[in-house]
Amino acid sequence: EAGVTQFPSHSVIEKGQTVTLRCDPISGHDNLYWYRRVMGKEIKFLLHFVKESKQDESGMPNNRFLAERTGGTYSTLKVQPAELEDSGVYFCASSPGTARAYEQYFGPGTRLTVT
Amino acid sequence: GNSVTQMEGPVTLSEEAFLTINCTYTATGYPSLFWYVQYPGEGLQLLLKATKADDKGSNKGFEATYRKETTSFHLEKGSVQVSDSAVYFCALRGTNTGNQFYFGTGTSLTVIP
C-alpha cells in the first residue's frame, strides 16, 4: 500500500510569489490533514478535510493560504503571496474513517523556503 | 487549551545507552498520547500510543506510560542503536478538539557507535 506522498519535496520561492503544494493521501482515506513546522518549532495543525469538505480550518494562519480537496482525493495548499514567515516544512497526513481517525499517516513533508 | 512540552535536544548518546525523552502535556479531559518518529528524509511514523491513563505503549524496544497524575508520557529505551537516530515528536489528540494533533517541538537524537 502506497503511503502519503507530497510534492514537491522542496520549494524555494521569492517573497510575493505563489506556491502550490500537493498531497496524495493513502487510497480510501477520507480524512486529510495539513500541518506545518516552522523554524524547528512544534508541528502545528492547519486544517482537516473529510472527503472534499473542510471539517476544521481553525489552524489556517491567514487568508493567504487556500486549501482544496476537489473530488475528495488529493489536496493542494496554495500560498499567495508568500511571506518570509511562511518558510517551514508542510506535512500532510491522512487517516481512515471516524473509528480510526487517530491513526494519522504522515507524508515526508514539503520544505518551503521563502527568500 | 491543549499543548505538549517536550525535552529540548539535540541528544547524543553512545550505542547501547539508556534513552529518556521527557514529554509533559496540558489538556482538558482525557487525551490520547502518541510518540512519532521521523527518520532522515522520511515522513513522521507512529512509534507508539496510549489512549488512557496507566496504559503503556511499546514498539521496537521503546516504551512510554501515560501518567495522568504527572501529565507525562516520557519515552524510554533501554539500549539505543545507531538506527534509532531520528527526530522524536510527542503528540496528543484531545477529547473535544476534533481530530487534530498537538505536537511538541521534537527532540533530535543521534546515536554514535
pLDDT in tens, chain A (115 residues): 679 999 999 999 999 999 999 999 999 999 999 999 998 789 999 999 999 999 999 999 999 999 999 888 999 999 999 999 999 999 999 998 766 666 789 999 999 999 9
Total Cβ atoms within 10 A of residue B26? 13
Residue among B46, B49, B103 minimizing CB distance to A42: B103
- Cell numbers standing for residue A90: 508542510
Instruction: Determine the Cα–Cα distance for residues B19 and B30; give it in Å rounded to an integer.
Output: 27
Residue A40 has a pLDDT of 78
B99:A48 CB<8 A: yes
Four-residue CA torsion sign, A106, A111, A112, B1: positive
Instruction: Determine the Cα–Cα distance for residues B56 and B65; give it in Å rounded to an integer.
Output: 4
- Cell numbers standing for residue A81: 503571496
Four-residue CA torsion sign, A49, A52, A58, A63: positive
Cα distances (Å, whole numbers) of residue B37 to A1, A37, A76, B30, B70:
20, 14, 25, 23, 23
Chain-centroid distance of CA A62 in Å reads 14
- Cell numbers standing for residue A85: 514567515
Per-residue pLDDT of chain B (113 residues; tens, 9 = 90+): 889 999 888 999 999 999 999 999 999 888 999 999 999 888 889 999 999 999 999 999 999 999 999 999 999 999 999 999 999 999 999 877 677 899 999 999 999 99
Q: Within an 8 Å CB–CB cutoff, is residue B92 touching chain A?
A: no
Phi then psi dihedrals of residue A72, to 5 deg: 70, 20
Contacts of A31 in chain B (CB under 8 A): 99
CA distance A50 to chain B (A): 11
**CA triple B54-A104-B22, angle to 5 deg:** 45
Residue B30's identity, in one-letter code, is: Y
Residue among B34, B41, B105 minimizing CB distance to A42: B105
- Cell numbers standing for residue A112: 518551503
